[in-house]
């Protein structure tokens, strides 16, 4: 069979019913198209077939013979494209696993609707799930790309250009600029962070008690009135889009690990325990995309976050979260925009659990199997999010996932304010509650 992939004629001699996804990845070596669910639900495998977004995992190779197929590799040959430039300017990706499909779908949308409304953006992008919850940034990037296409916005320079505006010499450092006791930028652009612990997202620092005050038992005994309530939470799935996978090459003289992980040192220690090899002979190679979800880490974080949600509740009980305002205190901010992205993603992640997440069991077996029956928040459902950080001179505390826990109570309180109804069971509108 003859295929036209990214403008090049290619030949495939395998079975006619082979999914296009495996032809692209395994035969042609185009790894940008991702495998997520395999049933055409998550959208991470979307490519453009004759200019239209299609799931590569459910498209047979014989069905695309003679048609034009564009993958992210072909699209990226034009890095000046407004969608790519807008994605960079808005710093959209987090783990990045879904973004090849997000970018292609956004480009298709703008080709059809150069001035899309927010509703058109949401409808077009909702078929592509983002487990990191980068929907607010995707929405902003599509708006920015539309402005670029219309000539109303210029391509934004790389953020490192700000280094050119640094003072000739910072306090106590003739070779660069010292922002505070923890962050220093050298004239060559090198950033040095001095801290006794490291945070890499998803809470990769040592967990400590954020606050321990008062005597709860004593206060309850002295209270004139005590309110007790039962709160129920269901079993949840991490619902990873990226398969749990790892490649290990074990030799007598060393071991190399390739994996999507955010705990490289933990992976290294585990490999040392299994192989008996010394640290210097175990190397961990972190993949460029993914690694953000799927039990990739077992650490905690220290940060405080408070959230307020604005919801609308229809007469029949349908709930929509319209807006979330988040305030966080995480010490000195090293990269404010990246910290805001973590908070945004945490809110979306927590919102999926608050509104939809529930694993049910029947005769001891889990009933949910994929994103078809374990729904996540999509672009269409994503609220507007405002993130505010408390101005602090304390040491950086990390922003792994502090945005996750407050969203369910914030939404539940908003529902109470709107309807007078208290909800103490997750998901917030489970069948038993509706």
Where along the chain do the CATH 1.10.150.120 domains lie?
A: 82-149
Q: pLDDT tens digits for 232-247?
A: 889 888 887 877 677 8
Instruction: Give the burial class of 298: count Cβ atoms within 10 A of its Cβ; 0-12 exposed, 13-18 middle, 19 or more buried.
Output: exposed
The CATH code belonging to domain 304-419 is: 3.30.365.10
Lowest mean pLDDT: which of 120-124, 200-204, 246-250, 310-314? 200-204
CATH 3.10.20.30 domain extents, the chain: 2-75
Task: Considering the chain, tell me which residue range(s) the CATH 3.30.365.10 domain(s) occupy.
Answer: 304-419
pLDDT tens digits for 137-162? 999 999 999 999 998 766 555 443 44
pLDDT, position 408: 92
The predicted structure's pLDDT at residue 98: 93
**What pLDDT digit, counting tens, does each position of 215-230 carry?**
988 999 999 999 999 9
pLDDT band, very low/low/confident/very high, at 182 (cuts 50, 70, 90): low
89-141: pLDDT as tens digits: 999 998 889 999 999 999 999 999 999 999 999 999 999 999 989 999 999 99
The CATH fold of domain 2-75:
Ubiquitin-like (UB roll) (3.10.20)
CATH number of 82-149: 1.10.150.120
The answer, yes or no, to whether residue 208 has pLDDT greater than 50, is no
């Amino acid at each position: 069979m003859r295929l036209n992939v990214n403008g090049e004629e290619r030949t495939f001699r395998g079975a006619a019913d082979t999914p296009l996804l495996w032809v692209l990845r395994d035969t042609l070596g185009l790894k940008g198209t991702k495998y997520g669910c395999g049933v055409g639900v998550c959208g991470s495998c979307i490519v453009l077939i004759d200019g239209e977004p299609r799931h590569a995992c459910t498209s047979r190779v014989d069905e695309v013979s003679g048609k034009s197929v564009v993958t992210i590799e072909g699209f990226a040959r034009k890095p000046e494209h407004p969608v790519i430039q807008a994605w960079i300017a808005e710093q959209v990706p987090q783990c990045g696993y879904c973004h090849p499909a997000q970018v292609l779908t956004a480009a298709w949308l703008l080709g059809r609707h150069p001035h899309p409304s927010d509703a058109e953006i949401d409808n077009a992008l909702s078929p592509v799930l983002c487990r990191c919850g980068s929907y607010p940034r995707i929405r902003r990037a599509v708006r920015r790309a539309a402005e670029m296409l219309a000539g109303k916005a210029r391509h934004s320079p790389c953020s490192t250009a700000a280094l050119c505006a640094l003072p000739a010499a910072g306090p106590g450092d003739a070779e660069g600029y010292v922002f505070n006791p923890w962050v220093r930028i050298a004239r060559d652009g090198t950033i040095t962070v001095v801290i006794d612990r490291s945070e890499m997202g998803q809470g990769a620092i040592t967990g400590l008690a954020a606050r321990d005050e008062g005597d709860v038992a004593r206060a309850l005994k002295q209270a004139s009135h005590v309110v007790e309530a039962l709160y129920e939470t269901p079993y949840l799935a991490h619902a990873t889009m990226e398969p749990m996978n790892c490649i290990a090459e074990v030799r007598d003289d060393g071991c190399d690990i390739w994996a999507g992980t955010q705990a490289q040192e933990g992976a290294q220690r585990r490999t040392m325990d299994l192989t008996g090899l010394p640290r210097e002979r175990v190397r961990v190679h972190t993949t460029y995309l993914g690694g953000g979800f799927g039990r990739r880490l077992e650490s905690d974080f220290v940060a405080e976050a408070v959230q307020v949600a604005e919801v609308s509740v229809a007469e029949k009980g349908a709930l929509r979260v319209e807006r979330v305002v988040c305030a966080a205190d995480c010490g000195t901010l090293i990269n404010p925009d990246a910290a805001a992205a973590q908070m945004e993603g945490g809110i979306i992640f927590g919102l999926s659990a608050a509104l939809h997440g529930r694993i049910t069991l029947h005769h001891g077996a889990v009933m949910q199997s994929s994103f078809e029956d374990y729904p996540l928040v999509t672009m269409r459902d994503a609220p507007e999010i405002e993130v505010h950080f408390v101005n602090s001179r304390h040491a950086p505390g990390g922003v792994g996932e502090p945005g996750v826990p407050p969203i369910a109570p914030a939404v539940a309180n908003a529902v109470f304010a709107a309807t007078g109804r208290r909800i103490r069971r997750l998901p917030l509108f489970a069948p038993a509650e509706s």
